[in-house]
A = this chain, B = another copy of it.
Amino acid sequence: MDRLGKDCVHCAHQLCAKKVPIFSVLDEEELNRVTELIVRKKYNKGELIIIEGSNPESLIIINRGKVKVFKNSHDGKEHILYIFSTGDFFGEKNILRKSDATYSAEALEETHVCMIRKDSFQQMIRQNPDIGIKLLEELCRRMDAVESMSMENAEGKVNKVLLEFSKKYGKDHPKGILVDLPLSREGIANYIGVTRETVSRKMSSLQDESVIKMIGNKKIL
């Protein structure tokens, strides 16, 4: 359990409910109610938040940090499904379907999360249907992303993923946009379903074409 804000309602707001998009529709009083339903927790880099095959019963919202959600294919390879960061949620399947988790989730850095249990969640949605609508919106966005990614070949996927990272993690810089990649080449490869060598090659050719410039593990657009 997180030592921060355990008994400080105002801190709790700051930490969680207030900055989460899906709760943006709530007013102060509703936020207070939601805050009471939340359990906070901290994970260190590399710790597993959800393990495939277990049966967690909470929705998880990221307060600070980054999380990768992945599953292993029968031949043992890791397929990363999503990279989530501050304000994102995951684990909605845990509370909407009865089955065991079909995926694992691991903290990529020190990560603080808020957890809402199944029954609290249902109650919350009934009191604030607009949260449900927000959730639906976000799921639609994810579907869109998955659908459009699935139509690309290796080169298109690398381009898309770099664009995605530059939007999410890019910072302005005199010579373009500086992006701090959340994943290694291997991670990117597992994310888009190709090998690390392919990622290397495609990124090298992008550099040859002067589209990007690599600096260690960051890059400039």
Residues of A within 8 A of B (CB): 71, 73, 79, 81, 92-93, 96-97, 102-103, 122, 125-126, 129-130, 132-133, 135-137, 139-144, 146-148, 150-151, 193
In the bound complex, CA of A79 to CA of B150 (Å): 10
Q: How far is the CA of A148 from the CA of B102 in the complex (A)?
A: 9
Q: Please name all residues of chain B whose beta carbon is closer than 8 Å to the beta carbon of A141 when the two chains form the complex.
A: 97
Which of A122, A133, A144 is most buried by chain B, counting CB atoms within 10 A of its CB?
A133
Q: Are B133 and A96 in contact (CB under 8 A)?
A: yes
For A146, the chain B residues whose CB sits under 8 A away are 143, 146-147, 150
In the bound complex, what is the Cα–Cα distance between A139 and B136 (angstroms)?
8
B135 touches A125 (CB 8 A): no
A147→B180 CA distance, assembly (Å): 27
Residues of chain B lying within 8 A (CB to CB) of residue A151: 71, 73, 79, 193
Please, could you name 10 A-B residue pairs with CB atoms under 8 Å apart, sorted by A?
A96-B136, A96-B137, A96-B140, A97-B140, A102-B144, A122-B133, A129-B132, A132-B132, A136-B139, A143-B146
A142 (CB) vs chain B CBs: closest residue: B143
The answer to whether A93 touches B144, judged by C-beta atoms less than 8 angstroms apart, is yes
Bound complex: CA of A38 vs CA of B133, how far in Å? 19
Q: Among the interface residues A81, A126, A132, A148, which one has the most CB atoms of the partner chain B within 10 A? A: A132
Report the minimal beta-carbon distance from A151 to chain B, rounded to whole angstroms: 5
- Residues of B within 8 Å of A73, CB to CB, are 151
Are B140 and A140 within 8 A (Cβ)? Answer: no
Q: Which residues of B contact A126 (CB under 8 A)?
A: 129-130
